[in-house]
Amino acid sequence: MPSRRRSRRTRRISLPTLLVIVLAVAIWVYLYGPEGTSSEAGDGWFPPGPSAAASDAPVHRAPIDPATLDPDLAALVVAGPSSTSPYDRELFGAAWADVDGNGCDTRNDVLIRDLVDLVFRADSNGCIVRTGTLHDPYTGAVISFTRGPDTSEAVQIDHMVPLSYAWQHGASTWTDAQRAAFANDPANLSAVDGPANQSKSDSGPAEWMPPRGEYACTYVDRFAGVLLAYGLTIAPEDLDAIAAVDAGCPA
């Protein structure tokens, strides 16, 4: 009898199934792939040198030490709102632009500076913070940051001198380029607790102060320092609030 050959059917993966698999792998690598550089110190600054050049790693801003600020409050110019034109965020340029050309947007620059235990997105060349920990200066809380549509808002970037405040106290006369530089100046930015930032909104020191009292001296120093650096005026009630705090600060 002639032998019977058992026919074998080749299993083929359909194109739609293959595309689903490829997409799933891509998403996994994007979210959970090789981790980027972590920062133990948390300042995110990498001094230029052979290792940085070899890897083309971005050089981030050196951390700012607000404690070194000692603004001359007597030099502040007191004035009420100076602009009759309504404030518009777009007048300060695109949010979180890469104004310093280091390859990272301003929001991530500040996260890198202010957070610790950083983990970067694998494909971001050390720019996009995926996770980290914030020791919040405003509340004293320790906040775990995870990048995502439902989690990123736990840590927000606060303009120490709000953009709308700056608009009313001199920025309305600036050029677009000057306003964009101000909106992205790290001296006026801090990574903070999201709800605290929302509570502050566009308030000056007379209306809002950090819930953590230990930070009040640094807060008013930075607020006044930014006004002086940019030639902005201050509302009389805000100067009174700053002076009251400053009177109790260490010399």
pTM of the model: 0.75
* Residue for token pair 């060349």: 125
What SS3 class is residue 179? helix
- Would 18 be classed as within a structural domain? no
Which parts of the chain fold into alpha helices (H)? 15-32, 50-55, 106-114, 163-168, 176-183, 194-200, 216-230, 236-246
Show the domain range for 43. 37-246
Which residues, in sequence order, are CB contacts of 184 under 8 Å at separation 6+? 93, 96, 97, 99, 100, 106
pLDDT of residue 83: 85
Average pLDDT, the chain: 81
Whether the CA torsion 58, 62, 64, 67 is positive or negative: it is positive
What local confidence, expressed as pLDDT, does residue 251 receive?
Answer: 78
In a domain, 61, yes or no: yes
| Structural domain count, the chain | 1
Domain membership of residue 197 (yes or no) is yes
Answer whether residue 26 is part of any domain.
Answer: no
In-domain check, residue 17: no
Mean pLDDT by 10 residues, the chain (251 residues): 50 58 48 37 28 35 51 95 92 93 95 97 95 98 97 98 98 96 96 98 98 96 96 98 96 78
Domain-located, residue 161: yes
Is residue 174 in a domain? Answer: yes
For residue 155, tell me if it sits in a domain: yes
